[in-house]
């Protein structure tokens, strides 16, 4: 069984400090592919994310300005992302999006950064990784106007209810689920997980955040993805091996990687 961790942050100091150990445990646990997402508050994090992908086999990069830092998303920063995306191991633009839960940047600033990333992904022919917290309706409105980039988009760490899942699926989104599906208080997320067509489903750790039960509260890492896989397979009533194969195949196709 081979797993694909579609979203984690290897440049975060909590993982980068022990990168060799993190990657060794990840391989030993069956994680064959990783997309590491920069978007950690500075362009240096994006540069480091690309450098990690360049030197590590089967590790790929996504780069963007996180919605928390949307105020820093000016033309110069978009230009820097465009230059970094010339590296063939950059397989997506992200994570961008809307976070109305923390609201660390004003709503209109987040929306304008989202639009800039939608345009950049379309221009570069890359898929888009979208972060959305308590903003699914507004996300659907904006994408309803602009359309998705040609290569599509994934709503990562999906936490919306069934209505939000249906709305984003209707716009063509893939949905990716994290360790939250293992949390006792996440019944609405599990309801959403049941609705996703088999060919539009991804799984992720979002490490170092959101360690799955029974490791909740610890620093997360890609080797913990198996807990999320097993919980998600139980929710969908299929064998973990089958869900691993489906989500691996979906992620390879979505990120444009050879099987
Ligand atoms: Zn996120
Ligand atoms: Zn993330």
DSSP-derived secondary structure letter, 23: H
Q: How confident is the model at residue 62 (pLDDT cuts 50, 70, 90)?
A: very high
pLDDT at 17: 98
Please give the structure tokens belonging to residue 249.
Answer: 């195949």
- What distance in angstroms lies between residue 16's CA and the mean position of ligand 2's atoms? 15
The rounded Å distance from CA 218 to ligand 1 centre is 18
Question: For residue 131, how far is its CA from the centre of ligand 1 (angstroms)?
Answer: 4
Percent of residues, the chain, with pLDDT higher than 70: 100
The average pLDDT across 14-34 equals 98
Which secondary structure element, helix H or strand E, spans residue 54, and what is its range?
helix 43-55
- Distance in Å, CA 94 to ligand 1 centroid: 9
Whether pLDDT at 259 is above 90: no
CA distances from 41 to 63, 65, 89, 126 (A): 11, 7, 21, 21
CA pair distance 30, 7, nearest whole angstrom: 16
Which-ligand-closest: CA of 68?
A: 1
* pLDDT category of residue 134 using cuts at 50, 70 and 90: very high
Tell me how crowded residue 166 is: count the other CB atoms within 10 A of its CB: 15
Q: Is 249 helix (H, G, I), strand (E, B) or coil?
A: helix
Q: Which domains occur in the chain, in start order?
A: 3-254 (3.20.20.140)
Residues of the chain with pLDDT > 90, as a percent, come to 98
pTM: 0.97
pLDDT at 236: 98
* Among the bound ligands, the one closest to the CA of 155: 1
Tell how far the Cα of 78 is from the centroid of ligand 1, in angstroms: 19
Q: Does the pLDDT at position 61 exceed 90?
A: yes
How does residue 41 score in pLDDT terms, banded at 50, 70 and 90? confident
């Amino acid at each position: 069984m081979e797993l694909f961790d579609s979203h984690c942050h290897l440049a975060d100091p909590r993982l980068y400090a022990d990168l060799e150990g993190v990657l060794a445990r990840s391989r030993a646990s069956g994680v064959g592919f990783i997309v590491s997402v920069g978007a950690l508050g500075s362009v240096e994090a994006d540069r480091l994310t690309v450098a990690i992908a360049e030197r590590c086999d089967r590790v790929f990069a996504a780069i963007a300005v996180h919605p928390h830092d949307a105020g820093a998303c000016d033309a110069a920063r978009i230009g820097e992302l465009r230059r970094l995306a010339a590296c063939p191991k950059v397989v997506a633009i992200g994570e961008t999006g809307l976070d109305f839960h923390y609201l660390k940047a004003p709503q209109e600033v987040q929306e304008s950064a989202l639009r800039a990333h939608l345009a950049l992904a379309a221009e570069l022919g890359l898929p888009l990784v979208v972060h959305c917290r308590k903003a699914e309706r507004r996300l659907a409105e904006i994408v309803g106007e602009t359309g998705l980039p040609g290569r599509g988009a994934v709503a990562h760490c999906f936490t919306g209810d069934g209505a939000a899942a249906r709305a984003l699926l209707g716009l063509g989104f893939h949905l990716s689920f994290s360790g939250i599906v293992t949390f006792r208080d996440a019944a609405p997320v599990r309801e959403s997980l049941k609705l996703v067509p088999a060919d539009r489903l991804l799984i992720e750790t979002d490490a170092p955040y959101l360690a799955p039960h029974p490791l909740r509260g610890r620093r997360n890492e890609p080797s913990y993805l198996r807990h999320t896989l097993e919980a998600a397979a139980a929710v969908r009533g299929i064998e973990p091996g089958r869900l691993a194969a489906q989500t691996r195949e979906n992620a390879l196709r979505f990120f444009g990687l050879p099987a």
